Structure 1
Amino acid sequence: MSCLQVTTLILVIVSTLFIIISLATDYWLEGPPFHLGLWKFCNSSDGCSSLPDLSFLQEKINATAPIVYVDCARGFTILTLVCLLIGVVAQALMIWFNSRLKVARKQKLTSSFVFLAVASEIIGMAIFRSFPGTENNTVALSWSYFLGWASVGFSSVAGLTTLYAFRK
């Protein structure tokens, strides 16, 4: 068991926790009377509701179909979560169990899934960043969104650590 392998596992676990928190919370976008997540919309006067319809935002931010941005970000973030979970399992197997796969193959598997998670999260975050209203400061991106970006950083370092451990 290498120190780099344990470091990679810790980084991937932290990244996975950040993605889970980011997915579960509803503070991706904030405006004066509301905040919005990937699953719920909360208004100061009406409380929280699920996200089937964002037509109320269309007049406020002069946009068409803002739900598409949320759906795309949700899909890519779920793909990120799945890839990170596979990365955690592969890294844990590499550390604690001596399975029949060579260590090099397991390290490649871990780094492949972690980098796939990074790519899918960058795409999802970029799509959500283009949410109508964010370019002219009508609405602001919030802490759940930035926690997703923190996950990208931790995942990137984890993937690079895995590749560095592979070279040693």
Structure 2
Amino acid sequence: MAVKILADLWLLIAILVHVATIAVAIASLAGPYWMDGPTVHFGLWNYCFKHITQTYSDKCYKVTDVEDDAITIDGYFRATQALMCLGCIATLPTFLLIFALIFMLVGPEKRKYALFITVVFTFVQGMMLFAGSCVFLSQKTTYGGDQMSTDWAHYLGWTGCCTSFLTACLLVVHYALNRDVYEEL
């Protein structure tokens, strides 16, 4: 049995953009440079000292290990961690659904619904990345105000959000240009 391929330009671009979304979302989640200051930098999981202090050496620690001394972990910090994790997790089913649409692994009667679910998952994923980045940014003053600045890992969170929405738009364009394929029974 030969596998039919539905791979127009818009769907291929959508999967490439989605692969980029997966990469930047994971890099943002794991990156130790959400905030950077003169003496420290930290991400969602690590808190790194640039110089030796009385209590800590110039290396990275888990955020929970320095929680009381150097950083306060409030609900919004945990919310940022959770939203960014959920945003990264949501990239996987979306990728599988786009892959299934390309290789037509979804039957003709369910193809339209699979595309709809893919667009919804992509949009929800982008909203989670957006909300996580917004929640973190809203509390910037908690981390030293003007001395601390957002850094590349935080920017990658915003980039992941934008590329998620771009993927959703590309999938909608794909549907609009291939409506006949999705509505045949």
TM, length-normalised to structure 2: 0.81
Secondary structure of the structure 1 residue equivalent to 2:69: helix
For residue 181 of structure 2, what is the aligned residue in structure 1?
none
Which structure 1 segments of 5+ residues have no match?
Answer: 59-64
CA RMSD, 1 decimal = 1.8
- Check conservation: 2:24, 2:159, Cα contact below 8 A: yes
For residue 146 of structure 1, what is the aligned residue in structure 2?
155
User: In the alignment, is residue 56 of structure 1 matched against residue 63 of structure 2?
Assistant: no
For residue 20 of structure 1, what is the aligned residue in structure 2?
26
For residue 10 of structure 1, what is the aligned residue in structure 2?
16
Partners of 1:31 and 1:2 lie apart in 2 by 46
The one of 80, 84, 109 aligned to 1:77: 84
Letter in 1 for 2:166: V
- Check conservation: 2:31, 2:153, Cα contact below 8 A: yes
Letter in 2 for 1:54: E
Query: Structure 1 residues 44-53 or 109-118, which shifts more?
Result: 44-53
User: Deviation at 1:55?
Assistant: 2.8
For residue 99 of structure 1, what is the aligned residue in structure 2?
106
Letter in 2 for 1:39: W
User: In the alignment, is residue 155 of structure 1 matched against residue 164 of structure 2?
Assistant: yes
- Check conservation: 2:94, 2:118, Cα contact below 8 A: yes
Letter in 1 for 2:78: D
Secondary structure of the structure 1 residue equivalent to 2:146: coil
Partners of 1:132 and 1:165 lie apart in 2 by 39
Partners of 2:104 and 2:176 lie apart in 1 by 21
- Check conservation: 1:12, 1:154, Cα contact below 8 A: yes
User: Deviation at 1:20?
Assistant: 0.6
TM, length-normalised to structure 1: 0.88
Moved over 4 A (4+): none
For residue 128 of structure 2, what is the aligned residue in structure 1?
120
Letter in 2 for 1:120: M
- Check conservation: 1:111, 1:159, Cα contact below 8 A: yes
Which structure 2 segments of 5+ residues have no match?
Answer: 1-6, 178-185
Secondary structure of the structure 2 residue equivalent to 1:41: strand
Secondary structure of the structure 1 residue equivalent to 2:41: strand
- 1:29-68 counterparts in 2 under 5 A? 29-44=35-50, 45=52, 46=57, 47-52=59-64, 53-57=66-70, 65-68=72-75
